[in-house]
Homo-oligomer: A and B are copies of this chain.
Amino acid sequence: MCGLFAAYVEFSIDDYQFLRINPPMRSTDLPEIRRLPLFCSMAAATFDTLFTHAYVQQFPAGLELIRQGDPADFLHVVLEGSVELYAAWSDRQCMMGEVRPFGAFILAACIRDATYLMSARTIERSRVILVPAADLRDAFRQDGEFALSVATELAGAYRGMVRDAKGLKLRNARERVASYLLRQSRLAGDASSYLLPVGKRLLASYLGMTAENLSRTLRTLEEDGIGVSGARVTITNRARLIALVRPDALMDGRDPADIPPPLAGAPR
């Protein structure tokens, strides 16, 4: 807990401007965006209006997209790559979450027209859609279906944060590590071997412990059915691991209907 980070590479304003001037919006982007849970239910007209001022951007790894405390100006949706949400206070910082395609972030700040509570930076090279917050609020007012999607997304984000907070308070570090590894296995289709999606330093920060302690914990977990070498995780004894983790749908599960909120079929 309270571990410090290595300083990330900072890019200059010029790099940023350069990216802004060359929006890598592709012809295939809009139809793809249209299928996302957040946007698939809204009326065509609202969608078109919403995206007149939106644009897609490509960012290099390690770029700070959002700084906590700044006013919310754009809703961000990750198309490719991955983005880390992190919080900082008084020379400490920690990872609060990770966003991968096709998740949105800082929706809550945009809806409330408030300042960001967390910062965000790219973990790897990423493509992100930026939608002006004011347009978002307009679309919300005009389109009931979109409003429902937004509320569903917000509720999902809230519930995700509750799950995380429960994990922090109810489990110790070892249990958090084990449950994380088991959950990742599930995400990979109950694979018995998979690669860690983030570096160990970051993972430790996310799990609320130091990198050193994570390293040691991983060693001791070999006795409980899971081995890690490099980024490769191998489950050697799933039953034993499950007995240790005592998985709970309310902490480790995902919400059902995480994809299309009200209509199960989706428009295609």
Contact = CB atoms under 8 A, between A and B. Distances in A.
B255 A112 contact: yes
Interface stretch (A43-51, A87-95, A220-228): A87-95
A159 B261 contact: no
Contacts of A255: 112, 114
A58 interface: no
- Most B CB contacts (10 A, CB to CB) among A109, A169, A248 go to A169
Interface in A217-268: 246, 248-251, 255-257, 261
A254 B1 CA distance: 25
A114 B172 contact: no
A162 interface: yes
Given A89-B248, A158-B154, A165 B111 contact: no
Interface in A61-90: 68-69, 87-90
Chain A interface size band reads 35 or more
A115 B157 CA distance: 15
A203 interface: no
A115 B111 CA distance: 25
A188 interface: no
A124 interface: no
11 contacts: A2-B170, A94-B169, A107-B155, A108-B156, A111-B151, A112-B159, A114-B159, A117-B250, A140-B148, A161-B161, A168-B208
